[in-house]
Structure 1
């Protein structure tokens, strides 16, 4: 068995040392300097491997969003026991009450990891970020600003590139790394999962969790979100899956279809959600999406959560074609209205969820003539930088064509002009019959 190890040099050395005694397994180091280099490494090498192991959740999430998984993947979970080691190394900088900045981990995780120690904690500043768009510079600036303002005495980071950057600026920075036993256990679990996996079981499943209750004021809402976060983190630890903040109103879990089927007893047992609601003291609504990429699965999950809230059900699983109520085998599935296989196929080739592709096509129809990427961004509600990427995708799919540039006298670079093609109009006529993303109750055929 050949397993690729993806990570920075220091963690690769530690991982190789921790698994040196495992028999009948050859480990192939795939080293990167920055996490954003991981997708290219995995894409070029995974077909020659039996599995891929990521030395951290950040490169794992980045690859989930951009690389189609063809073999089992797993990642090294961050255990808060690594905090204690980092604090021991930082003891010369600790004077009185501890003030620290921490990235990657949430404040509740940090406090939980330190609750059994005798340290007097004064302040903990944590940095939450989008796992699919990791910026080493942004994380380093977070720590640097807090030190410059005199708010913290030490910086704890889980990202090696950030650690090197902070040390280069002579900041009191210390690295949080998992213990050798944690590494070995995670790799052994991956080895057990390798056998018997199918392509369907390797699909990404994202769960979106939201509190479903009225709250009086901002403080009560924030307390509710902390309770939901704590309950979700505890659930994820028991399952061995990833749980991270999604936005200001929801959290998400990330796992494979194989893990999800095991965790729900083949989609029949969702008692964990009622247990979560009981622990929080308010109802929790959830939706799960399954797809070939993290982005598509997340969009499907958000749709499933909306359906669960509208229908007053516990939760749904949505795969772009039908939304299935979980834990209620006699309930009919909700089919994607007028599901169009051609539109769905094009969306998958472009890496877009079908509702998103339909929204983009409908956005193209808002222009009578030519338009720029910035104008398109305003119509469909995305960032201009993202719009340029979307326009390239639409160009490759033959839904738009370039037809000149728009120049402004004396300021800025020229902007490309685009026009919708006949194929775009053809697809739009099909979305008018229902391909835009609604679901309706119909019996499963």
Structure 2
């Protein structure tokens, strides 16, 4: 499999580090130093290489989107809330006051969300969201007009053009890795059977692990059964495992097994064109994970791609629908099962306040796009989502509406009306 990457020369090392968790994938690079080079480089990459996926940033995508074949899986990396929070942490480390500051490329909602969590005054933050038609000179003029003590930019050319205190909030390796893993798996779109094998040291521990997996919201729609004396087999839609592993970055349930049950658990996942073959690959991946220190997981695909090791670094999800009477009540009001609403609550936590389209929500849950749109309508009728703008993904057609899930706040209000802080 050949995946193309379009990156600025300054960021090539970071992208290479993010791709280090992949094997069985060949990377084809288009590296630019000036924005004017992007279009020609992308055209050359498409002509000279048979790509099965393309990863590029917001600016390269805006400059070359009309060149991209409709059948080519494309992922667009963009700076996330985490990247902005890291930039503010760097400012504190430099001894700078967090505000006033001017910020470009990030949308207003992301800035407001991160600033709100950090307790920063919004009226001291000037924001210029990304616009494909923005020239570097216009962004530079925006920052100079506001003349703040320092600025945060996600554009390499802007950082190079400005003097003084500049923080470059480029996507972190974690942000890049999630996009890259998601792209590789979309290139395997016909291979949607995914099996997971969880292994422990002693047979007597298997029952405790099975109960933990059954109470994990992401596995609410998965089939879980015993396999051998020391293993559990989990089988389900791709979206189940993509959510449970944060797009194959980490597996928080491993940490929960260690912290709540005192168990070392290793896991393997397999993707193949048949269920039987996916189980075989999961067994091989689990055996590979068993050679690592501590609790970890690996993914093997049928054509030789390996992702891992996936650790237990992310915080485990806390919603367990069997323990939340309020969730059953809300589920009934929305016309959904408690398991489905529990999974949606987990998805909301993983999004961290980010807006989501019906199509993205459908892919996360492993359901069809029409089902995703129907689900959004149900959630909207139950006031469990709010509209939040739109985005244009395809070159043709109408923009996709975006929504923010509000299940967590609804649960809190239902459990302690008027008293939850």
In the superposition, the TM-score normalised over structure 2's length comes to 0.48
Q: Which has more radius of gyration? A: 1
